[in-house]
Structure 1
């Protein structure tokens, strides 16, 4: 069973589209949105079973240049 997480990203000014393109090229998100408010991007990711969520995000997402902050929300149950 995979773990579904939502990750919000704050990008350096003027770099949101560049960050979004880098994420898209990695083919690891289920959905990726631009958003208003405190964060610039919102993505839905399914973490493979047995993977450490923090390590997965660090290795696959948070090494992309121009990401200045992230907020990860873990999910528990689908209704």
Structure 2
């Protein structure tokens, strides 16, 4: 499995609803609230051959209240 992190910017006042929707969809291994430019940080594990672009577009962007995302692709865990 390969780890990806996605920073999520939510519509104003929607961070908790978005976090709950992601958790209910059971697609993320961890979800954190954050400060700064983004409201949430979610960690996803996908099979190495999976396309992260399709995953984000098909699974994450359909969740109401998400305004913007920034995907971080990881290479190696230490």
Q: Common fold, TM-score beyond 0.5?
A: yes
In structure 2, C-alpha distance between the alignment counterparts of 1:33 and 1:25, rounded to whole Å = 15
- Equivalent-residue separation in structure 1 for 2:31 and 2:74 (angstroms): 17
Shift of the alpha carbon at 1:50? Answer: 2.1
CA distance in 2, matches of 1:48, 1:61: 17
For 1:1-79, what aligned pairs fall within 5 Å after superposition?
Answer: 2-79=1-78
After TM superposition, the runs of 4+ consecutive aligned structure 1 residues lying more than 3 A away are: none
**Over aligned residue pairs, what C-alpha RMSD do you find?**
0.9
For 1:21-75, what per-residue CA distance to the aligned partner results, in whole angstroms no more than 9, with x for missing partners? 1100011111100000000000110012321110011111111111111000000
In the alignment, structure 1 segments of 5+ residues that lack a partner are none
Question: Unaligned 5+ residue runs, structure 2?
Answer: none
